[in-house]
A and B are shown apart, each in its own frame.
Chain A
Amino acid sequence: MYLYDKYDQAMVDARVEEFRDQARRRLEGKLTEDQFKPLRLMNGLYLQLHAYMLRVAIPYGTLNGAQMHALADIADKYDRGYGHFTTRQNIQYNWIKLEEAADLLSDLAKVEMHAIQTSGNCIRNISSDHFAGAAADELVDPRPYAELLRQWSSFHPEFSYLPRKFKIAVIASDKDRAAMRLHDIGIRIVQNEAGEPGAAFYVGGGMGRTPMIAPCIREFVPLDQLVTYSEACLRVYNRYGRRDNKYKARIKILVHELGAEEYTRQVEEEFAHLQQQGIEPPLAELERLKTYFADPPFDDGPKTVDRSDPDFALWVDRNTIRHKHDAHVSAVISLKPIGGIPGDASADQMHLMAELAKQYSFDELRVMHTQNIVLPHVRIADLPALWARLDEAGLGAPNLDTIEDIIACPGLDYCSLANARSIPVAQKISERFSANGKTAALGELKLKISGCINACGHHHAGHIGILGVDKKGVENYQLLLGGSEAEDVALGKITGPGFSEDGIVDAVETAADVYLRERSDGERFLDTYRRIGIDPFKEALYG
């Protein structure tokens, strides 16, 4: 994985001192809260319902054991002994004191981490495929490209006061494990007909209150123009993105209002201009970055394992993923225990995951946008020992991509924007399906819950989505069906009137039962929904 050189370290250290100075001026009253707000946001510090929340960047979700240990130490030292892994492949802490935030950032900088641009109207942490460098189906490892753009977008002088936040995802596979087309810019590394590598640019996707799927605005940008093309996309947005209404300020609205064709024309015009400006790093820089993402020394070993323990076999079937090296798998550590808070991990659990990464996965971990943790490179021979340690620590839930593997935003338990609680709904659903035994029969079923229309819980993209709203002071939950964030990207449709907190749990089970009744061989929930449409579900829910 990427390691800082003296330049990267100097920049992160400077940022800590800048923030320390800004926080001091705020505490002394020299900065108003309005003036301080964008500064603290660009360091990941939000004011939540009960305290400050600090979001730490985990670039493209990759971290090493020492970094995971440091995240655990921070949970103990500055928070209440736990952290929350997010849909942006980051971690956030919910109980931070402003007075201590600079010290926290300083601790992060010691392990080459930061909270730069994890919030605010700027280019956010760049996300990627959580199986990058391990997946059998990838063209190349997308992370060097993500790192190139991370550096370009860090402290960008022109694009730090954009109309609204800006999220970029980079993938390099036909399989989309990063919700690429639901980003402001989605980049897919591709090969053209001549076999040369380049990047397809999808611009103007997003969730939020107006979900949009990004159109492809250019099928092939040569690798030595990635930064320049990105700069052109951002400049057109900075110039014309709406600033009169924060709910219409994302680039998706601009692309929609101008039309993809006109937006593209303007980007191409700006791109032609910027190509004369010499702003592109040389390909040698990309080659330098690639060396950090070279394969670890995989060794040949057994390709099968003793499956006589049924609990272990179930975990292997559900939570391990085929690897490009056939004596290895990627193993997913579920942060979705039955009745637990999706994405939460205690300091002890983080320490354990760090140790296991060192012992079994070449000291590397990934954060999934589905709020789980991956050990990307595990020898098949090591799986029984790994599973035993996970199971003992309550981290062995065999539920990847099942109805128990729920994405949920923090909701009204923490968030000042929320209209309804998300976490208790997730807890009740996982308890319900664990108790009724239907999880296995349902197979792949991605359920996502947001506590308000900002859609941090990705409800638009769930096979089943739940949106919490406030209905005359009472929490009410709408049900959506048919969304997908994957390569078959689609936006879910609302079934009809909403439900109470308990009613939504029943409604999910009703929808699941329609699928179990109607499915053909081999169909996932989403496939059946697409074949039969929403009406049979409505009939069962409201009929």
Chain B
Amino acid sequence: MAEIIRFRDDEPVDHPAVTVDSFLDQSNANAVRVEPGDDARALIPHLAQLHLVEVNFPAFGDGRGYSSARVLREAGYDGELRAVGDVLVDQVAYMKRCGFDSFEPDTTLDPDTLGAALARWPEVYQSAADTRQPIWSKRHA
């Protein structure tokens, strides 16, 4: 298991995340793991209780986790949102835009390549779950 890359300053949750089903089954847990087939909207009534949501990417080509992340951020979740699994350097910039602020890749990411990937995009075309100002907004500021 590779190290966790975090873009937040608070203390990480130090116990394992539970499944969405067990969390919804009257759990007191504050960390939950969302699988691709889970509907992240089921967590929305419980966001205040959650400190960590892990979104699993069993295969990097399965993009459901991007929507799960954005849905949670749109609902106001401000705890840690961690992409875990087959998380590759060329997907991290998009993941950040969808609201992920920590990453636990199966394979360690090369720090230089990661730095280059995150610095790559000078602008963004759309509004998403990050704070970046879209190009259309700059054009009509």
| Residues of A participating in the B interface, judged by any CB pair closer than 8 Å | 5, 7-8, 10-11, 14, 17-18, 21-22, 25, 30, 35, 38-39, 121, 151-152, 154-163, 227, 235, 238-239, 243, 273, 277-279, 281-282, 284-285, 288
Sorting the interface of chain B by its residue count into under 10, 10 to 19, 20 to 34 or 35 or more gives: 35 or more
A288 to B136 CA separation, bound complex (whole angstroms): 10
Residues of chain A within 8 A (CB-CB) of B16 are: none
| Residues of B participating in the A interface, judged by any CB pair closer than 8 Å | 36, 39, 60-64, 66-67, 70, 74, 88, 90-91, 93-95, 97-98, 110, 113, 116-117, 120-128, 134-140
Given A161-B66, A285-B140, verify A273-B135 contact (CB < 8 Å): no
Smallest Cβ-Cβ distance to A42: which chain B residue? B90
Can you list 29 A-B pairs, Cβ within 8 angstroms, ordered by A?
A: A7-B138, A8-B135, A10-B123, A11-B123, A35-B90, A38-B60, A121-B63, A151-B135, A155-B94, A155-B125, A157-B66, A157-B95, A158-B67, A158-B98, A159-B63, A159-B66, A160-B63, A160-B66, A238-B63, A239-B64, A243-B36, A277-B74, A279-B127, A281-B134, A281-B140, A282-B136, A282-B140, A285-B136, A288-B139
Q: Are A152 and B74 in contact (CB under 8 A)?
A: no
Given A25-B113, A160-B63, A161-B63, verify A285-B139 contact (CB < 8 Å): yes
Give the Cβ gap from A68 to chain B, nearest Cβ, in Å: 26
Residues of chain B within 8 A (CB-CB) of A279 are: 126-128
Residues of chain A within 8 A (CB-CB) of B135 are: 7-8, 11, 151
Smallest Cβ-Cβ distance to B65: which chain A residue? A161
Complex partner residue of B63 from A155, A162, A281, CB under 8 angstroms: A162
A8 to B121 CA separation, bound complex (whole angstroms): 11
Q: Are B66 and A284 in contact (CB under 8 A)?
A: no
Smallest Cβ-Cβ distance to A236: which chain B residue? B67
Smallest Cβ-Cβ distance to B135: which chain A residue? A7
Give the Cβ gap from B4 to chain A, nearest Cβ, in Å: 21
Q: Are B121 and A155 in contact (CB under 8 A)?
A: yes
Given A22-B90, A277-B74, A281-B134, verify A14-B66 contact (CB < 8 Å): no
Q: Are B122 and A10 in contact (CB under 8 A)?
A: yes
Residues of chain A within 8 A (CB-CB) of B134 are: 281
A212 to B116 CA separation, bound complex (whole angstroms): 43
Smallest Cβ-Cβ distance to A274: which chain B residue? B74
Complex partner residue of A121 from B61, B66, B93, CB under 8 angstroms: B61
Smallest Cβ-Cβ distance to B66: which chain A residue? A158
Give the Cβ gap from B138 to chain A, nearest Cβ, in Å: 7
Complex partner residue of B67 from A5, A152, A238, A282, CB under 8 angstroms: A238
Residues of chain B within 8 A (CB-CB) of A284 are: 140
Q: Are A243 and B62 in contact (CB under 8 A)?
A: yes
Q: Are B116 and A21 in contact (CB under 8 A)?
A: yes
Residues of chain B within 8 A (CB-CB) of A156 are: 125-126
Complex partner residue of A35 from B74, B88, B123, B125, CB under 8 angstroms: B88
Residues of chain B within 8 A (CB-CB) of A278 are: 127
Residues of chain A within 8 A (CB-CB) of B88 are: 35
Residues of chain B within 8 A (CB-CB) of A239 are: 39, 64, 67
